[in-house]
Copies of this chain bind each other. A is one copy, B any other.
Amino acid sequence: MKKKQSTREEILDAIFMLVYINGYNGTSMSMILKECNIPKGSLYHYFKSKKEMVLAVIKERLAPRMDKFYNFTDNENKHSIDILIDTIINISQKEQLIKYGCPLNRLNQEMSSIDKDFESAITQIYNHIREKIVLLLNKSNLEKDINIEKLSEFVIANVWGALSLSPTQSSKKRYLDTISYLIDYLKSLKN
């Protein structure tokens, strides 16, 4: 029994998946209409344009998803580095991420250079998750001369990069192989 969702929520869910896989320009209104099985009048009742729809998806679907994903368990015993490593490894469990890469990164590459509104919405999410990693890493001692801001960007770059490699052979194993050196390096930074 599926939980009854409001029409607006259903629309956001459908658009999220369509845009995730096909991109913004690769997703047409007719695809959205078909996927939602909703008349055009309803769609444009809730949103005033395609762009508004996708910006809403970014704020109401993508942002919470990213936030939840990097919601580090507040485990006082564990070293920050180990919590971070757990999170990175945990990504390998998400089939969609392995198959299609990071939805934020995909949208970023497609839209940020051609639309300011997309750019700022995406940058906001990016800064937010980077800050969360910074906060996490500040909790434990690291090797001296480690700039935590830079290290956080390095970690994100690694994960996004590993998820974006040629998808033909994309698999959980391949992702874990690729980030194994990142994990190596992170471990070496524990005071």
Which residues of A pack against B, CB within 8 Å? 21-23, 25-26, 99-101, 105-106, 108-110, 112-114, 119-120, 122-123, 126-127, 147, 150-151, 153-154, 156-162, 164-168, 174, 177-182, 184-185, 188
B109 lies within 8 A of A168 (CB): no
Q: In angstroms, how far is the closest chain B Cβ from the Cβ of A66?
A: 12
Q: In angstroms, how far is the closest chain B Cβ from the Cβ of A114?
A: 6
Cα–Cα, bound, A2→B189 (Å): 53
* Contact residues in B for A100 (Cβ distance below 8 Å): 113
Q: 9 nearest interchain CB pairs?
A: A161-B161, A157-B161, A25-B25, A126-B166, A157-B162, A160-B161, A154-B181, A123-B166, A123-B168
B182 lies within 8 A of A154 (CB): yes
The closest CB in chain B to the CB of A153 belongs to B178
Q: In angstroms, how far is the closest chain B Cβ from the Cβ of A181?
A: 4
Cα–Cα, bound, A178→B182 (Å): 13
